[in-house]
Amino acid sequence: MTGRLVIVGLGPGDVAMRTPQVDAALAGATDLIGYGPYLQRVEAAPDAVRHASDNREELDRARHALTLAAAGRRVAVVSSGDAGVFAMASAVFEAIEHGEPQWRLLDIAVLPGISAMLAVAARVGAPLGHDFCVLSLSDNLKPWPLVLRRLDAAASAGFSMALYNPVSTARPWQLGEALALLRDRLPGTVPVVFATAVSRPEERIVLTDLANAIPAQADMRTLILVGTETSRLIPRGEGRAAFLYAPRGAV
């Protein structure tokens, strides 16, 4: 077992937000595995092999990475953001648990990255400065009523929220239903941020509120932040975007 598997998070896009630890792991890899557009953003050794895949077959990709590492390769599995937040790390551990016994003996490390929620929060102020929940709106792997139940619990207990995977072509109506539930539980003035491609050239940030939030403001790359009744907006004038933050004592 001389192979090594690292599961790395690239951060939101800007290389200035990628950690040196991740850069070093990428430079030392013989094989890089991940969604094609992410792999394109990565610098690696000249002779490194890039195994691009589409964004769906996560378990296949994980098994492929483990097979290569078990054969002695130094493999980097690449996610955007943080690999442990709705990304490849869980898929790799699922593959290990249900796969070859010797995979458990491999040298395996997860290297954290700046997650989308942290990058988006920093971009608009400090909206996650107090208690918050992080949810995926995807019902590919869990029943939709459970998503609604968790949204309900988070809103009712006064958590801010970071919502991942808000829409896809296969999930066109779920976001509208999620926003409708939140409008039932919270005042329409609660701030909502739609953030797409943060730190990348095509970055788009929309700061609105629950009453005016519409699903068309999101695509599959969008992260949504939902505040609380105690969220604060600081207008700045002169064409500057307002700051949004959660007071430290947000009750």
- Which parts of 53-82 interact with its own copies (CB under 8 A)? 58, 82
The tokens for 146 are 């459970």
83 interacts with its own copies by CB under 8 A: yes
- What is the number of residues in the chain? 251
239 interacts with its own copies by CB under 8 A: no
Q: Out of 149, 170, 184, 200, point to the residue binding its own copies (CB under 8 A).
A: 149
Closest approach of Cβ 11 to its own copies, in Å? 7
Q: Out of 54, 169, 202, 237, point to the residue binding its own copies (CB under 8 A).
A: 237
Nearest to 198 by CA among 86, 120, 81, 82: 120
What sign does the dihedral 186-115-36-63 (CA atoms) show? negative
Query: CA torsion, points 68, 74, 79, 80, in degrees to nearest 10?
Result: -150
Nearer to its own copies by Cβ, of 32 and 147: the residue is: 147
Q: Out of 70, 75, 77, 114, point to the residue binding its own copies (CB under 8 A).
A: 114
> Per-residue contact track with its own copies, 150 to 189, x per CB under 8 A?
x-xxx-xxxx------------------------------
Nearer to its own copies by Cβ, of 50 and 150: the residue is: 150
Give the CA angle between residues 169, 9, 134 to the nearest 5°. Answer: 60
Closest approach of Cβ 143 to its own copies, in Å? 7
200 interacts with its own copies by CB under 8 A: no
Distant-in-sequence, close-in-space partners of 232: CB < 8 Å, separation ≥ 6? 244, 245, 246, 247
Question: Taking CB under 8 A as the criterion, which residues in 7-26 touch its own copies?
Answer: 11, 14-21, 24
Q: Out of 52, 134, 181, 220, point to the residue binding its own copies (CB under 8 A).
A: 134
Half-sphere exposure of 162 (CA within 13 A, CB side): 21
Q: Out of 29, 76, 135, 193, point to the residue binding its own copies (CB under 8 A).
A: 135
Question: Taking CB under 8 A as the criterion, which residues in 36-55 touch its own copies?
Answer: none
Could you give phi then psi for residue 237, rounded to 5 degrees? 70, 180
Which residues pair with residue 52 across a beta bridge?
34
